[in-house]
Amino acid sequence: MFLDTLADHCRNQPDKIAIQFINRPPVTYGELEIAVNRTSNFLLSLGIQPGDRVAVQLPKSLPFIYFHLAAAQISAIFLPLNPDYPMAELRYFLADSSARLLFADRRKQPEIDAIASDLPTLERTLFLDPAEDWESQIADCSAERHSPMPTDPNQTAMMLYTSGTTSRPKGALITHGNLTANIASLHEAWGWRGDDMLLHALPIFHVHGLVVALHGALHAGATAILLPTFDAAMALELLLSRRFSVFMGVPTMHRRLYQLAGDQRYDLSFMRLITSGSDRLPDDLFFGYQETFKVTLLERYGMTETGMNLSNPLLGERRVGSVGPPLPGVSARIVDPASETPLPDDEVGEVQIKGAHVFKGYWGQPQKTAEAFTPDGWLRTGDMGLREPDGYYTLKGRAKDLIITGGLNVYPPEVELALMRHPAVAACAVIGCPDDEWGEQVVAAVIPRDGAVPNEAEICAFCREQLAAYKAPRRVVFVDEFPANALGKIQKAKLRETLCE
Ligand code: MCA
């Protein structure tokens, strides 16, 4: 399993650097093992049992990584939360998951203390300053492992919340077996090596940054250098230092690097792997990157419920606009969305996925879990696509109305719910409008209440109090009515035509 491979690296190469935050002291594999064991023992001393949910809402930091690995090691369920979630969202995730323990940023203590009384299952919140030295706080805990490593592949390692177009966010349960299967197939497909150096600039509360990037490097016994947040100028300077062999990003990050380069030409061809994912890679960026950096981006396709499914090859053609063939151990098919019968090549249908990497279900939602799978066990991704005769897949659309901005999914109903709480809003509809930098931007169309004089900035700010910043509308347009079909249902495609510039 993934944790066993990591333990082997810790034993076999204790002096090698495992992770290092930029401009901070490095952490070797030997030190990582000690810190994770101490953190595990700390969690055990708090009474954390297998299956308990351990929530973490901290910036990208060493303690975050230790809590993650330690929770997984003692068979607890790690629940990472975006530091940007305001209290309304945080309260929902903590209540729904009935987390027993929360690690949070000390700066948020007053706000979190205020919601804690609504959360009877949350026994304890520990506040940390992420910059402070966590290791010294657990120096009294034993550096030996005192609990058996998880051996059941069906044991849940972490849960990650994903939204839906019709429901509140659901906790996707990712097992140790899922993580192990996914990382093994990526290891094979992307040729991870012990001497790889990863520049890690992604957030680590998602599968992309946590599993694909960080686990990828640790599973290989390689070194990950982490930026706490993405800074294009710093990332470009580091990439040009010729130290790195692997870098992973979302199109918005690649767009910023490309724009930063301007007319300059750079040679990053010494890097063996630069990936793009979480949103479709625009063709102009694919070609522009090639010209500017002498690198062909490798586009791949994944989702929270599965980790990575499809990927352009490391060697061989990285095809523009395509997400490549299935990864080793992954089965994919294209079906007619109505009958769910497989379609011939080149015909567009729903992408369905099967494999040991596919999650086991949604926390406490057997009905939603059942709906996610076909009777014979294929995961319904909700994404549309086609298979070319040579086995490459191309995505052709996504679950109805889903917006992707900067590589993050936004589901309009969540935003609409927030907007409807505003006294000046009589009705609203949220859409994504194309945007060069972000892929899409969240735009709200609002019908004001009679007599109300709503203000765009104030409505945006109102949403941000309830929603993470990336979900809040960037633009609010006031309208008298919405385009609707005969049944009165808002036609969002028409709305996009009129409102997107
Ligand atoms: C930040 N902001 C955003 C986003 N990120 N708004 C919309 N969409 C976003 N994604 C807000 C900030 O709060 C800020 O608001 C304003 O935009 C500008 O912030 P800025 O500093 O420019 O942004 P940033 O902090 O540099 O972040 C941009 C980013 C980031 C680096 C592209 O969004 C990011 O790291 N995205 C990667 C997401 C990711 O890892 N996705 C994987 C999930 P204000 O100025 O008003 O305060 S999907 C996944 O895991 C599956 C498995 C997969 O296939 O990968």
Helices 2-12 and 62-73: crossing angle in degrees, nearest 10, is 120
DSSP calls for 370-430: HHHB-TTS-EEEEEEEEE-TTS-EEEEE-STT-EEETTEEE-HHHHHHHHHTSTTEEEEEE
Q: Does 309 score more than 70 pLDDT?
A: yes
Residue nearest to atom 11 of ligand 1 (CA): 470
- Say how many Å lie between the CA of residue 327 and the centre of ligand 1: 27
Distance CA 134, CA 299 (A): 37
- Choosing from 408, 443, 459 the residue with most ligand 1 atoms within 8 A of its CB, the one to mutate for a pocket test is 408
- Choosing from 85, 182, 208, 229 the residue with most ligand 1 atoms within 8 A of its CB, the one to mutate for a pocket test is 208
Q: Say if CB 359 and CB 211 are below 8 A apart.
A: no
- Say how many Å lie between the CA of residue 334 and the centre of ligand 1: 30
3-state per-residue secondary structure call for 89-154: HHHHHHHHHCCCEEEEEHHHHHHHHHHHCCCCCCCEEEEECCCCCHHHHCCCCCCCCCCCCCCCCC
Range of lowest pLDDT (179-188, 424-433, 477-486): 477-486
- Say how many Å lie between the CA of residue 60 and the centre of ligand 1: 14
As given in the structure block, the two tokens for residue 146 are 């005192």
Sheet holding 425-435, edge to edge: 425-435, 439-448, 475-478
* 3-class SS of residue 434: strand
pLDDT at site 166? 66
pLDDT at site 193? 97
Distance CA 172, CA 303 (A): 11
Residues 6+ apart with CB under 8 A from 68: 56, 78, 80, 158, 204, 210
Distance CA 305, CA 303 (A): 5
Distance CA 479, CA 409 (A): 26
Q: Say if CB 327 and CB 311 are below 8 A apart.
A: yes
Atom of ligand 1 lying closest to residue 438 CA? 8
Q: Does 284 score more than 70 pLDDT?
A: yes
- Strand partners of residue 490: 484
460-476 pLDDT tens trace: 999 999 999 999 999 99
pLDDT over 70, % of the chain: 99
Of the candidates 170, 262, 273, the residue with the CA atom closest to the CA atom of residue 222: 273
Atom of ligand 1 lying closest to residue 300 CA? 54
* 3-class SS of residue 181: helix
pLDDT at site 165? 64
**What is the mean predicted confidence (pLDDT) over 410-423?**
93
**What is the mean predicted confidence (pLDDT) over 156-170?**
86
User: Would you place residue 398 in the very low, low, confident or very high pLDDT band (cuts 50, 70, 90)?
Assistant: confident
pTM assigned to the model:
0.95
165-195 pLDDT tens trace: 667 899 999 999 999 999 999 999 999 999 9
- Say how many Å lie between the CA of residue 302 and the centre of ligand 1: 17
326-384 pLDDT tens trace: 999 999 999 998 899 999 999 999 999 999 999 999 999 999 999 999 999 999 999 99
Pocket of ligand 1 (CB under 6 A): 202-203, 206-209, 229-230, 250, 252-253, 277-278, 302-304, 405-408, 438, 469-470
Atom of ligand 1 lying closest to residue 306 CA? 52
Residue with tokens 């960037």: 474
- Say how many Å lie between the CA of residue 87 and the centre of ligand 1: 19
119-156 pLDDT tens trace: 999 999 999 997 788 888 899 999 999 888 999 999 99
Amino acid in position 241: S
pLDDT over 90, % of the chain: 91
